[in-house]
Chain A
């Protein structure tokens, strides 16, 4: 029986940088526990010699010709944000000096 604690729910939410209300934390604690419990049935399958499938295609790295060509116009790319300055996206401070 998988049962997540409130602290685990808060830890996952922090990894995902997702603000949750107390009500959401409690609801997700129950629902995620039930889903993970359901997923437990996979443990009964022997997969010791089975390789994982991340993608069904054999394609690995695809190269294209390295040719200079125009990208999308700057104004268009900035049209969907309020957070801009001097033709660039303005972001919050990441590194303090």
Chain B
């Protein structure tokens, strides 16, 4: 039997079902792995050892009493922006240090109902703002493929945990690329569902018109499996859509003959690393050889996505983060009157990137600048969405890079926000348009760092991108490769 931490969720589910392993074995193996390597990788902010073993025992008992579900007893990790009842949820911020939510996010609640086991909470850029996980107030997460480099972000703890075999799968959130970019840089699968697919209840809000929760896994089929359980209407999130129940794993065939794949010229720009461009083009050629109909599409407003995003998302964030006033939760710094308490509490509680975005968003929404910045950005957002609407009249899915570069060095971009933002130049538009995207491993650069291929689908077209990604994955071995790294003592 392969090492328990090397399994896919599908493989582990098979062993649990046949009784060859118990959830306690599987969970303990992951806790041991975390104890062994997380001192080096630092993916977890909290490891819930006792709760995990208790949940594993409960899952084994449910199975013994005849219950069966593919997720029953599967150990997973959750990004620290997702509320977990009674378990500290900090969003990577000092302003939520010690916060224990009185409820769990709907997506997590649904996974738990089906018997998934929580291993712990993963590190992230503060309030999901960042592309490297360096903006965490607590620790820097290292990329398992090269521990001198970042895992990507903002869900870098989740991507690193899955890549380093410290969880069979994990949840992240994606507001502008925060699942797909770390999936690409960490060499795992990550999907951002369409806006409205997964309930945002219990996801601490950043950009409410953009945020979505999605899974990280080591196979496309595993991502489909997690998504099956997470989706669906939730009356506590009025933007979660009521759609027919689908089994995302059902149509995962290797046959993509006749699938129309669009390749946008605008995704192969100056600044993209030659190894990334070459690898992505090879992957697209491969799709053509497999029988897909590959053709060019145009997304002419691609270069507007970055400025639109950095007006819209900070504007929404500045409103959402106004709630952190130190009254109901979080550390509080007492001033001599109410406003001074707010000023001091926020000034001490938020880190530099969060402050920068609150400032930017407040400016874009302020009197005299609203029309020129925020309203203008919302109008260009319409143009970006129309680009995709037109493209999807011609093609079934769009393929291209996830990020212009592979994993960069820790510290390399922290002093240059614009340079950091460029990391998400190919992912932002998907959130602005509310559509779905997936990153699937498609090779390595000359330094041995992983590269992700992005498939983009129309709103609620997750079945299409999962199908394309699965078919590609099954003809390659990129996703089966594991990183090796030296442990720091």
Chain B residues within 8 Å of A72, by CB? 102-103
- C-beta contact mask, B307-332 vs A, less than 8 Å → 1, else 0? 11011000000100010001111101
Chain A residues within 8 Å of B78, by CB? none
Are the C-beta atoms of A59 and B366 separated by less than 8 Å?
Answer: no
Does B200 sit within 8 A of A, measured CB to CB? no
Does B31 sit within 8 A of A, measured CB to CB? no
A36 to chain B, nearest CB (A): 7
Are the C-beta atoms of A53 and B382 separated by less than 8 Å?
Answer: yes
- C-beta contact mask, B333-357 vs A, less than 8 Å → 1, else 0? 0000111011110111010100110
Are the C-beta atoms of B376 and A47 separated by less than 8 Å?
Answer: yes
Are the C-beta atoms of B102 and A18 separated by less than 8 Å?
Answer: no
Which residue of chain A is the closest to B362 with respect to CB atoms? A16
Which residue of chain A is the closest to B350 with respect to CB atoms? A18
20 intermolecular pairs with C-beta atoms under 8 Å apart: A12-B359, A17-B322, A17-B343, A18-B355, A31-B417, A36-B360, A38-B307, A41-B307, A42-B304, A45-B301, A51-B382, A52-B382, A53-B378, A56-B209, A57-B195, A57-B239, A61-B238, A77-B328, A80-B330, A92-B338
Are the C-beta atoms of B355 and A77 separated by less than 8 Å?
Answer: no
Given contacts A17-B342, A56-B434, A83-B326, 12 further A-B contacts (CB under 8 A): A9-B359, A17-B322, A42-B377, A42-B380, A52-B382, A53-B378, A53-B379, A53-B382, A56-B196, A59-B196, A80-B99, A80-B100
Known: A55-B239, A64-B235. A19 touches B378 (CB 8 A): no
B237 to chain A, nearest CB (A): 10
Does B459 sit within 8 A of A, measured CB to CB? yes
- C-beta contact mask, B419-439 vs A, less than 8 Å → 1, else 0? 000000000000011100000
A27 to chain B, nearest CB (A): 8
Are the C-beta atoms of B434 and A59 separated by less than 8 Å?
Answer: no
Are the C-beta atoms of A18 and B359 separated by less than 8 Å?
Answer: yes
Contacting residues of chain A (33-82) with chain B, CB-CB under 8 angstroms: 34-36, 38-39, 41-43, 45, 47, 50-57, 59, 61-62, 64, 72-73, 76-77, 79-82
Please classify the interface of chain A as helix (H, G, I), strand (E, B), loop, or mixed, using the class held by over half of its residues: loop
Q: How many A-B residue pairs have CB under 8 A?
A: 157
Does B373 sit within 8 A of A, measured CB to CB? yes
Task: Give Cα distance in the complex from A19 to B360, angstroms.
Answer: 15
Chain A residues within 8 Å of B328, by CB? 77, 80-81, 83, 89
Residue in contact with A35 in the complex, picked from B350, B380, B381, B417, CB distance below 8 Å: B417
Please classify the interface of chain B as helix (H, G, I), strand (E, B), loop, or mixed, using the class held by over half of its residues: helix
Are the C-beta atoms of B363 and A17 separated by less than 8 Å?
Answer: no
Chain A residues within 8 Å of B250, by CB? none
Could you tell me which B residues sit within 8 Å of A by CB distance? 98-100, 102-103, 195-196, 209, 235, 238-239, 241, 301, 303-304, 306-308, 310-311, 318, 322, 326-330, 332, 337-339, 341-344, 346-348, 350, 352, 355-356, 358-360, 362-363, 366, 372-373, 375-383, 385, 417-418, 432-434, 459
Task: Give Cα distance in the complex from A16 to B162, angstroms.
Answer: 37
Known: A32-B360, A80-B98. A56 touches B195 (CB 8 A): yes
Nearest first, the 10 closest Cβ-Cβ pairs linking A and B are: A56-B434, A19-B347, A52-B378, A92-B338, A80-B329, A47-B379, A62-B238, A19-B343, A39-B307, A76-B102
A14 to chain B, nearest CB (A): 8
Are the C-beta atoms of B359 and A19 separated by less than 8 Å?
Answer: no
Are the C-beta atoms of A45 and B304 separated by less than 8 Å?
Answer: yes
Which residue of chain A is the closest to B361 with respect to CB atoms? A16
Are the C-beta atoms of B418 and A35 separated by less than 8 Å?
Answer: yes
Residue in contact with A16 in the complex, picked from B98, B359, B372, B418, CB distance below 8 Å: B359
Are the C-beta atoms of A16 and B358 separated by less than 8 Å?
Answer: yes
Chain A CB within 10 A, most for which of B348, B358, B379: B379
Are the C-beta atoms of B356 and A47 separated by less than 8 Å?
Answer: no
Residue in contact with A91 in the complex, picked from B338, B339, B383, CB distance below 8 Å: B338
Residue in contact with B308 in the complex, picked from A12, A42, A81, CB distance below 8 Å: A42
Are the C-beta atoms of B360 and A35 separated by less than 8 Å?
Answer: yes
Are the C-beta atoms of A16 and B380 separated by less than 8 Å?
Answer: no
Are the C-beta atoms of B196 and A57 separated by less than 8 Å?
Answer: yes
